[in-house]
Structure 1
């Protein structure tokens, strides 16, 4: 899993925000907005109430990473555990910052966080489990990749980093060890992990602390202040390694490596570069430009002809794309509670097996690769299939955080197979999660706690009233299912 880390005190996890934490700034007592991050809260109960901890994947000086089974859904997830003591306050800070940043990100190539637990002795971060190993492992096994494969992987990385940069997040430690494959399949998706050294940074602000892994550090990190451009350099190093099996600036020790990064010219003279196209080398020269002001931006990298032609994801099956767009254009929720429950199921209960093909559709619509679907991108997608739908109506239903874009999770919520996703089994699991004291009913306090701090008391009261047909001030499971089935008329019995 790599590091799931971050700084700021854990109690202040919600303070840092990108793009106004995707909608939180416009929330008021009369406005209902919702983001999947709302469901990621700090829980003080023992993690063993919700997870069965299993095989340890790795241990470090301050904690460990293990596989865990989610008791509610029986799905496998990864848990990073940091044990609290006076000697590891920096690790705790890193973990806290990482949670803040991961809550802000919503992208098919960025690790998904599910839960956060804190006790007097430890902090636990639960994320999706990636079983395909590190990109580093595949590089060691393959020695080097062909141009098409390297470009495909790089396009995944660039899109993830562009999503970060678009929200003023700089990663600062991009390397093959921090890129995991979702599974062992040859065409598995890459997931960017380890945001412990990441920062929110505005365009006018620069950072000056030297941080990262020496082979992948940009020259300006070693000499002066720096900005997001250091991530482009790191990606350039990764691409160089994938295409040649060697690092661009080798050395016997850190000082020799740093010296070459700052002063040595980029070389393609080794035998490993025979047969590699000039177009690939041109892109590398742009990414590994020692001057950050003339170095390619992440957007320029994404739009590079070699990267697009060699790495473009396969076009989704036409029928799948049609059905996905049909779901998107017809998606309706009849209440704020339905919106919240659907969002919860997609972001907290369903695993990636439900989304494999939908990710291809999302990526195909997301022409600029930033991980957000704009009004223009949606308009072009529905026009290409001659759907006669006003995109503004789609946004009214699907843009639940009101940030002016359709985020990845919002897209999945609208396009996922409704009968499978919103089955009675999944509704039951959602109900159990909201029913904190397990008494078979959801009261006002439980609903508010489940939604986090983003909703006002008046909105939460209205949400409860929407489903509380017998007006006893609580929602029982029968009322819950009845209310939810107003949209999905055929709730299947299977989980």
Structure 2
């Protein structure tokens, strides 16, 4: 294949030095990697969902599991400049790092001579934009439910140093055709890191979604919040706040930042909703941050939790009883949970997770966990909260992230089927030999060559039943299926 785009992606700087097994961090991003097989051998592409500048998005089916996913197929010959290739690499890197119930999950990617293939979860509800056209506008209750999820995703991104750069109803998907109004933020092709010094303007999107300061070359997290304000305005009335015959006229109106909320439809909309819009579609110094926007009074009256208390109590008991497995078993369960848990298996748990995440930042803090226990099971000592966090927080970031919450609550026995374990085994068996070596485990955990070799040898030794210095498929299955309840 020669030098490929993703050759640059596999950088030495990603590798981590490990001197102690407790330093290993387990998160879903470890398993979002380039699959060396041909895309066509692993997936069957099907219906086209959308087209873009560099290619199209299609539905696809995993040949081994039958799981329906989406694939973003990018034509490499259309990415002529180094900058365009850099943005693709950055998109992959950002997608790997994200773990939030309202952000699209990415599974793996492929590359051949002509194309890049990004495999993502499939959302049957289609674009929020299409739903707006169909409904014309949302009632405040439905708009609030959708908008809170958008803000939660944006707050999570900003807290992790990521600016989306292209928020619009076209880049928000409804998870299902009917029912829940659960959404997923997609398309990180214009995303950037807040630490970047030279931020380029997004290439995509309508002029009114871009904040006035963007046209002066300033782009930061407040610019995303302007886009959020435009989305809320459209959700409530069905059309954008600025209208012009061309982008030049729209940009002129955007720079004035004056929003009209008049007419029959706005007479029915609450004063708190209008106040919210005015605090988002305004100058950057007055504009709300995502975290502050989640606390706006409009949500207090418009969002009511539909989660039954017994579901929350059950989840809290599962968290309390969870015991961290050994490092390899934890990695396997993380892989299977993040890659193969179905919507049916996670839907209810996601709603519980979001109800526990009181500040809406996409993760559960010690304080939120403590409050949840007090409100459901009863008083609990802080030292017990510390113990629970220590068992569940496998990436050691001080929070319970979404996948970590799922691992502690999902029906593990059902999820860890022979088929899923075979797929997990292939992730660790990087050379396809049918056995996992210490070197292969080290590669999966992105640890550099100078890391202590004894760590990996000890992992192998503790699981190597036949004493050949490697782990075969049967030993691998035995490891995971031993003592389900010990997790």
Provide TM-score, normalisation by structure 2.
0.90
In 2, are the aligned partners of 1:107 and 1:160 still within 8 Å (CA)?
yes
TM-superposed deviation, 1:96? 1.7
Change (3 A) 1:55 1:246: closer
Query: CA, structure 1 residues 42+425, in 2 after alignment: closer, same or farther (shift >3 Å)?
Result: closer
Distance in 2, Cα, partners of 1:51 & 1:450: 23
Change in 2 beyond 3 A, CA 1:458/1:401: farther
Q: Deviation per CA, 1:64-121, whole angstroms, max 9, x where unpaired?
A: 2222111232201111111222754454333221111111111000000000112332
After the TM superposition, which residues 228-267 of structure 1 pair with which residues of structure 2 at under 5 Å, given as runs?
228-263=221-256, 265-267=258-260
Which among 116, 138, 143 is matched to residue 145 of structure 1?
Answer: 138
Deviation, structure 1 residue 251: 0.7
Match among 18, 38, 43 for residue 28 of structure 1 = 18
Aligned to 1:469: 465
- Shift in CA distance, 426/305, structure 1 to aligned 2, threshold 3 Å: same
CA RMSD between the two structures: 2.6
Structure 1's 246 and 16: CA in aligned 2 closer, same or farther, altered over 3 A? farther
Structure 1: 5+ residue runs without aligned partners? 1-7
- Per the alignment, residue 353 of structure 1 pairs with 344
Query: What is residue 161 of structure 2 aligned with on the other side?
Result: 168
Any stretches of 5+ residues in structure 2 without a counterpart?
none
How is 1:34-45 mapped onto 2 (pairs within 5 angstroms)? 34-45=26-37
Aligned-residue offset at 1:452: 4.2
Match of 2:331 among 313, 326, 340: 340
Structure 1 length-normalised TM: 0.89
Moved more, 456-465 or 466-475: 456-465
User: Within 2, Cα distance between the matches of 1:208 and 1:429?
Assistant: 40
**More deviation, 250-259/272-281:** 272-281
Residues 62 and 152 of structure 1: CA distance in aligned 2, closer, same or farther (over 3 Å): same
Q: Which moved more, 1:251-260 or 1:57-66?
A: 57-66
Determine helix, strand or coil for the equivalent of 1:348.
helix
Shift of 1:286: 0.5
1:227-278 C-alpha deviation (Å, 9 max, x unpaired) = 2101111111111111111211111100000001112621112232121111
Cα 1:425–1:117, aligned 2, differ >3 Å: closer, same or farther?
A: closer
Per-residue deviation at 1:408? 0.7
Give the direction of change, closer, same or farther, for the CA distance of 1:182–1:14 in structure 2 (3 Å limit): farther
Q: For residues 362-418 of structure 1, give each alpha carbon's deviation from its aligned partner in whole angstroms, at most 9, with x where no partner exists.
A: 111111111111111111112221275701111221111111111111111111122
The residue aligned with 2:483 is 487
Q: Which 10-residue stretch deviates more, 179-188 or 150-159?
A: 179-188
Change (3 A) 1:454 1:80: farther
Mapped to 1, the partners of 2:369 and 2:350 lie a distance apart of 15
Pick the aligned partner of 2:408 from 400, 410, 414: 414
Tell me which moved more, 421-430 or 462-471.
Answer: 421-430
**1:294 alignment partner, SS class:** coil
Offset, 1:430: 2.1
Q: Distance in 2 between matches of 1:137 and 1:303?
A: 28
